């Protein structure tokens, strides 16, 4: 089986990114998009080189009356959702686990992922060690299942 493109949510979670990578898939994360922006020497719009063009491009994913911060985020996240072949969504995570910063963006991204009818694993953020073990176990099982491995 070919590796799958797996969207992670929160979109900047290093733990999810690492897990997806370890099991042979391609994580779709916002870091890659921001990295492209920051490394672009032609744009000088500190701190992450987002200009007013991004919120305008975000209109592809949400209406213009949606706040500019949501549209700016969607300009980066929208193309990742389009690419996604699977997704792992973690609800109510600790801020140190990752976050998009905006609850409205979260709602929209999750809805768009469901709309794609791709395999989705949705989990609650673990609150203790036992839950954490089960959390990782579920993710590993899901990632393996994307390879056709039922184990």
Partner 1 sequence: MTVRIAQISCGTEYSGIQGEVYRAAEITGMHIVFPEIDTDDIKRAMDVIGLYPASTGLRVMLARALAVAEGRVEVDGVIVMTCFRCAEGALVRHTIRRFLHKTTKIPVISYSFTERTKAENLLLRFEALVNMIERRTLLARKKHEGLTIGIDSGSTMTKGVVMKNGEILAAYWLPTIDVVTSGLRVYEELFKKTGMSKSQVEAIGVTGYGRFILGKELKANLVQEEITVCSKGAAYLGNAQESYSTIIDIGGADNKAIALYEGVPYSFTVGGICAGASGRFLEITATRLGVDLMTFGELALKGDHRKIVMNAYCIVFGMHDLVTALARGARREDVAAAACYSVAEQFFEQQFQEVEVKEPVLQIGGTSLIKGLVKAFEDTLKMKIIVPPYSQFAGAVGAAILSSALAKSS
Binding site for partner 1 (CB under 8 A): 44-48, 50-56, 65-73, 94-96, 99-104
Q: How far is the CB of 53 from partner 1 (least distance, A)?
A: 7
Q: How far is the CB of 33 from partner 1 (least distance, A)?
A: 11
Nearest residue (CB) to partner 1, 72 versus 146 = 72
Residue with tokens 């391609």: 26
Q: How far is the CB of 43 from partner 1 (least distance, A)?
A: 10
Nearest residue (CB) to partner 1, 69 versus 119 = 69
Nearest residue (CB) to partner 1, 25 versus 71 = 71
CA distance 83 to 60: 15
- The 3-class secondary structure across the chain, one letter per residue, is CCCCEEEEECCCCHHHHHHHHHCCCEEECHHHHHHHHHHCCCCCCCCCCCCCHHHHHHHHCCCCCCCHHHHHHHHHHHHHHHHCCEEEEEECCCHHHCCCCCHHHHHHHHHHHHHCCCCEEEEECCCCHHHHHHHHHHHHHHHHHHCCCCC
Nearest residue (CB) to partner 1, 5 versus 55 = 55
Q: How far is the CB of 31 from partner 1 (least distance, A)?
A: 14
Nearest residue (CB) to partner 1, 75 versus 88 = 75
Q: How far is the CB of 95 from partner 1 (least distance, A)?
A: 5
């Amino acid at each position: 089986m070919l590796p799958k493109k797996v969207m992670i949510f929160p979109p900047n979670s290093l733990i999810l990114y690492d897990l997806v990578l370890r099991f042979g898939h391609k994580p779709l994360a916002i870091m890659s998009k921001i990295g492209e922006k920051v490394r672009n020497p032609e744009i000088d719009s500190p701190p992450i080189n987002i200009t007013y063009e991004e919120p305008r491009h975000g209109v592809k994913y949400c209406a213009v009356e949606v706040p500019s911060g949501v549209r700016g985020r969607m300009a980066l996240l929208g193309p990742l959702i389009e690419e996604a072949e699977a997704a792992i969504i973690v609800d109510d995570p600790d801020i140190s686990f990752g976050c998009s910063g905006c609850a409205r963006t979260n709602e929209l991204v999750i809805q768009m992922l469901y709309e794609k009818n791709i395999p989705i694993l949705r989990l609650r953020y673990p609150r203790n060690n036992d839950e954490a073990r089960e959390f990782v176990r579920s993710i590993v099982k899901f990632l393996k299942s994307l390879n056709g491995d039922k184990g």
